[in-house]
Structure 1
């Protein structure tokens, strides 16, 4: 239950009396003598109620109401009025005020109005959270593509971890989408409006590593002309993505560990300590603890980075996602190159499903673009992998049902007629492949 109240009144005796009543009744109270000060310090999505006098010097209560309505139309505002201001207060309620109390008012009348307003505020904020979560799920489904159980689990983990202030380690093979997952962790969290800085640890020469990460002052070393802000400092308030972290030189690992522990950096050539606030997301292909046992990585840093771990499955372990991904990349490439995207034949799809895709999603995207350019034929170029016949049949079946659902926009009867399967069989197969009819409905369609 919310219990925050802001009181705005230019009369000190009233402020003090109301503050005392509310504090003794269990509310968290903040008081202001001027409306301007309240507006300046009001946080976004304030989880409480504003209690304001109408007549005040400078900005009065009605002007404050208008400003608050512009910021958040659902924020409850209760006005305190004198006897002559009642008609004005009634008009204010038509304009969005939650309630008004005529002076003098009893503590019971005040507490009753506040509790009702707080209940309403709690419902509004809960509803906003639900809508925001639904929006995040929808956007994430369109970013991290795939209907396999492993991808469904990964999306849930990303949504769970994105708002948390913890470092994350992403494990996955080359081309499996580690940077995209890191970007989603940033975009769906509270740091989304701050910088996302990606650093490929394998691409920076060791002599330049410290300057890249921590920055330098003018003359710190030969060629250091002018001051330069490093990646960590530039990302203040946001996220640093350290790709191929296993390639970081051991000498820099020590300094990174210190940054994580102390949240401070020093530029090369400077004795000044600079406070930074960054979330670190690291990505690696090998197990960092295995690297530590081999003497190539610091064990203490591995534990600091791996507060939470996300494992990205290789494409060969989620073959049922291949048709959807190939179609997505084909459409993207066709739009970019102003060409049409051909429909895959059964033979082409079979070869796509049988290939091992050692380059994972990156290789699949490349294959789709080459097909649009007419450079590759998936049926001819894809090499057979080690997948069983049953697994290939399952993946092909999922593709056929998904394609039919897309073509018919979720019309189950039309899908049954095209695929010539009874309703019960279709329902069982859709459930097994994680296909939900509502995902394919055209806007305005009604369930059948």
Structure 2
């Protein structure tokens, strides 16, 4: 989902049209405050990725201030930000990129280059979403399951794991089954690939 945040109707409309011409789903916000209201609702991230096109200078909260809030909430990997400005300068662009913005475009911009960067941002967002899902699954493991997991990843057989942890081989098998279930995989090879 492309989130367009700009206080100019004509910019929001033209960017929406441009995105839809590439079959990209779009939502628009006329201010940073309206986006924050939406963000504070239970939000579903798009499995195809998300990206924010953000005007730097807007009435009310600036795009730069919104970006600082997103950075503080550690959301800029899941919601990569591409800044747009009609008043940009090189130091401003360098500063936003150093602070973690995905890109910076000065108006007027090349439509195709902008949409290409949006697609690249979606890929980053999708990867961040996949990583977050893996960490959520890992968080469901018990301490003992984490110990068994580490030994599985080290290539240890069930008997060796049982000896190292001082538990029965049957208990290792039960932990292994729980790990595979919670991590949503079927084999140790899949597990290793998931956590590489």
For normalisation by structure 1, the TM-score amounts to 0.32
Q: 1:59 to 1:147 in 2, by over 3 A?
A: same
1:89 maps to 93
Q: 1:56 to 1:138 in 2, by over 3 A?
A: same
Pair 1:147-2:144 in alignment: no
Corresponding residue to 2:54 among 33, 52, 55: 52
Contact 1:81 1:89 survives alignment (8 Å): no
Give the number of the structure whose alpha-carbon radius of gyration is greater.
1
2:127 maps to 123
1:235 maps to none
Once residues 182 and 80 of structure 2 are traced to their aligned partners in structure 1, the CA distance between those partners, rounded to angstroms, is 34
SS at match of 1:113: helix
SS at match of 1:7: strand
1:358 maps to none
SS at match of 2:141: helix
Pair 1:34-2:31 in alignment: yes
Deviation digits for residues 87-131 of structure 1 (CA, Å, limit 9, x no counterpart): 323211111211111101121021111111111122222222223
Once residues 116 and 54 of structure 2 are traced to their aligned partners in structure 1, the CA distance between those partners, rounded to angstroms, is 16
Once residues 103 and 131 of structure 1 are traced to their aligned partners in structure 2, the CA distance between those partners, rounded to angstroms, is 39
- Tell me by how many angstroms 1:86 deviates: 4.2
- Tell me by how many angstroms 1:31 deviates: 0.2
> What is the aligned-residue RMSD (CA, Å)?
2.5
Q: 1:150 to 1:87 in 2, by over 3 A?
A: closer
- Counting matched residue pairs gives 155
Pair 1:8-2:29 in alignment: no
1:63 maps to 65
- Tell me by how many angstroms 1:159 deviates: 5.8
SS at match of 2:140: helix
Once residues 132 and 140 of structure 1 are traced to their aligned partners in structure 2, the CA distance between those partners, rounded to angstroms, is 17
Once residues 87 and 16 of structure 1 are traced to their aligned partners in structure 2, the CA distance between those partners, rounded to angstroms, is 29
Contact 2:140 2:182 survives alignment (8 Å): no
Contact 1:80 1:103 survives alignment (8 Å): yes
Contact 1:6 1:50 survives alignment (8 Å): yes
Gaps of 5+ in 2: 147-166, 185-196
For normalisation by structure 2, the TM-score amounts to 0.69
Once residues 28 and 127 of structure 1 are traced to their aligned partners in structure 2, the CA distance between those partners, rounded to angstroms, is 23
SS at match of 2:118: helix
Once residues 29 and 23 of structure 1 are traced to their aligned partners in structure 2, the CA distance between those partners, rounded to angstroms, is 7
- Tell me by how many angstroms 1:50 deviates: 0.8
- Tell me by how many angstroms 1:138 deviates: 4.8
Deviation digits for residues 3-31 of structure 1 (CA, Å, limit 9, x no counterpart): x1100011101100100110120111000
- Tell me by how many angstroms 1:60 deviates: 0.8
1:46-445 superposed matches below 5 A: 46-47=45-46, 48-71=50-73, 72-74=75-77, 75-139=79-143, 141=145, 147-154=171-178, 156-157=180-181
Once residues 118 and 19 of structure 1 are traced to their aligned partners in structure 2, the CA distance between those partners, rounded to angstroms, is 16
Deviation digits for residues 154-200 of structure 1 (CA, Å, limit 9, x no counterpart): 5544665xxxxxxxxxxxxxxxxxxxxxxxxxxxxxxxxxxxxxxxx
Once residues 9 and 80 of structure 2 are traced to their aligned partners in structure 1, the CA distance between those partners, rounded to angstroms, is 23
Contact 1:9 1:52 survives alignment (8 Å): yes
- Tell me by how many angstroms 1:36 deviates: 0.5
- Asked which structure has the greater RCO (Cα within 8 Å, sep 6+), the reply is 2
Once residues 147 and 20 of structure 1 are traced to their aligned partners in structure 2, the CA distance between those partners, rounded to angstroms, is 58
Contact 1:51 1:80 survives alignment (8 Å): yes
